[in-house]
Amino acid sequence: MWWLKDVWVIDPSQKISSPQDVLVKDGNVLEISSSMTEEEVLAKAQGENLEIINGTGKFVFPGLIDVHTHLREPGQEDKEDILSGSRAAVRGGFTTILAMANTQPPIDNRALVEFVCRQGERAGYAHVLPIGTVTKGMQGSELVEMADMKAGGAAAFSDDGKNIQNAEVMRLALEYAKLTGFPIISHCEDKNLAGDGLMRRGVSSARMGLRGIPASAESVIVARDLLLAEETGGKLHLAHISSAESVELIRRAKARGIDVTAEVNPHHLIFCDEEIKITDTVLKVNPPLGSQADREALIEGLRDGTIDMIATDHAPHTQAEKARPFAEAPFGIAGLETALSAVWQYLVKPGKLSLDRVIEAWSVSPADRFGLAGGTLKPGTPADIVLFDPDFSEVIDPAKLASKARNTPFLGKTMQGFPVMVWVEGRLVQRDRTVL
C-alpha cells in the first residue's frame, strides 16, 4: 500500500486541485482526503507493507493518456518498438498510449490489432491501445472491417501519416465508424497543396530556400472533414492541429454543435518556423511548425477548450535517417520522455497554461473522447498515477532515454520538472526517472 502525503492533487474529473493525501491499495485508488492520521492509515493497510511518500512541493495527477504515438512495431523496430516505446511512455508520465497504425504492415485487420495488444501486455508498462487504419493498406480507398477490429481491441481508426484524399471515402468512414462509437482521427493534409514541401511556407522557408507547405494544406481538409462530420453525424478527431485558421474553423464548428475534438502537439505550442535551421532536421515535422501567430492561436485554442487535447505525436526515427540532408530526412519529433517537462517549462511556468488545464487536456479529455479507463483518481478506479516534481532537473542524456530514438530538440539540454514516480494499476513502474 502507498500513502502519498501532503501532495498537491490535481484531478479535474473530480474538480480537485488542492493539497491532499492519497492512498493506493490493491491496484486501485483507495482514498483521497486532507486529514488522515497514521492510525487510520495503518488500520486500512491491514498489516500490508506501507510505503509513505512525502509529497510536499510535488503534484499527483491521473496518468497522462497520449492519443498519438508512433511505436513502429511491426516493421520498423530500428526506430522504436512496443517495449521501448511503452517504457519511454512511463518515463514521461504516460500510463496509456494509443499506437498509430502506420506501421509496416499497417494495422488494418484484427490479427494485427491483437498483435499490438499482446505486445503491449507483454511489455507490461503503459497500457498500449492500437489504433486501426481507416482504409486497407492505408491506401485511402477501401474501408477496413471496423467492427471486427474493435472486437480485437482497437481504440480508434486513423490513416495518420497520410490524409484520406478521397472525400467520399472519408464520408463513408465517418458514417460507418458510428456503428463502433469510435472517432475517425484525421491527419489533415491536402496532398497537392503540401506537394513536396519541407516546412511551413512563409518568410523563413523563403529565406532558407526550402520548399514551403502552405497553411491551407491543413485547413482546407479541416474544413472538409468538419462538413462531412456535420453531414454524417460521425465522430471526428483532428490530429496535430497546427494553424490559426484551423483553430478558428474548429471553434466555429463546435459552436454549430459538430461532434469534433482536436489535439495539439507540444512542439507546435513551443516552437515556430523561425527556429528551423537547414543544418538540423530535428524540427522537421509534419504538420510543419507554423508562425508565431499560429503558436499563440494554438495556445489560446487550448486554453479556451477549442482544442481538447495535448498529444505528443511521438515520431521516432533513427539518427542515421535524421542525419540526412533536410530535404531527405523523415518528418517527426520523438516526444514521450520530454513532452510533459517541456510543457511545464515553456507553458505552465511562464503562466501561459495552468497545470490543471494541461492535466484535463492530456488525461481527462482523451479518456472521455476515446472511452478509455483512466483520466481520474476516483476511489475504486485503477491507480494509473503520476507524481510530478517541479524541481527535479535532468540533462536529456541519450544514454538515459528509454526510447530508441534521439530525435528530440531537447537532447543535451537541462530540463526541469519531471514525473518522478509513475504507477500503472497500482504497480510502480518508474522511480526517480528510472524505469523499473
Ligand X SMILES: NC(=O)N[C@@H](CC(=O)O)C(=O)O
State in angstroms the smallest separation of the CB of 187 from ligand X.
Answer: 5
Closest residue by Cα to residue 11 from 359, 353, 350: 359
Is residue 166 a known part of a binding site?
no
DSSP state, residue 325: -
151 CB neighbour count, 10 Å cutoff: 13
Q: How far is the CB of 435 from Zn ion (least distance, A)?
A: 27
Q: Is 285 in the site for ligand X (CB under 6 A)?
A: yes
- Residue 4 vs 333, nearer CB to ligand X: 333
Integer Cα distance of 320 and 175 in angstroms: 42
Burial of 107 (0-12, 13-18, 19+ CB in 10 A): buried
Q: Is 291 in the site for ligand X (CB under 6 A)?
A: no
Residue 313 in contact with ligand X, rule: CB under 6 A: yes
Is residue 83 a known part of a binding site? no
Which residues in the 31-60 window bind ligand X by CB under 6 A?
A: none
**Which of 72, 433 has the CB closer to ligand X?**
72
Full DSSP string of 298-314: HHHHHHHTSS-EE---B
Choose which of 66, 80, 160, 294 interacts with Zn ion (CB under 5 A): 160
Q: Would you say 427 is a known binding-site residue? A: no
Q: How far is the CB of 222 from ligand X (least distance, A)?
A: 15
According to DSSP, the residues that pair with 132 across neighbouring strands are 157
268 binds ligand X per the rule CB under 6 A: no
Does the annotation flag 68 for ligand binding? yes
Ramachandran category for residue 374: left, alpha or beta (phi over 0 → left; psi -120 to 50 → alpha): left
Displacement of CA 386 from its chain's centroid (Å)? 15
Q: Is-contact 82 73, C-beta < 8 A?
A: yes
How are beta strands 156-158 and 94-99 bridged, if at all? unpaired
Q: Which residues are catalytic?
A: 313
Among 127, 187, 267, 433, binds Zn ion (CB under 5 A): 187
Site for ligand X in 63-82 (CB under 6 A): 70
Euclidean distance between CA atoms 216 and 222, whole angstroms: 9
* Residues that contact ligand X, how many (by CB under 6 A): 11
- The verdict on 288 binding ligand X (CB under 6 A) reads no
The annotation places the binding site at 68, 70-72, 102, 160, 187, 240, 286, 313, 317, 331-332
Contact residues: Zn ion, CB under 5 A: 160, 187
Task: Give the residues lining the site for ligand X (CB under 6 A).
Answer: 70, 102, 160-161, 187, 285-286, 313, 315, 331-332
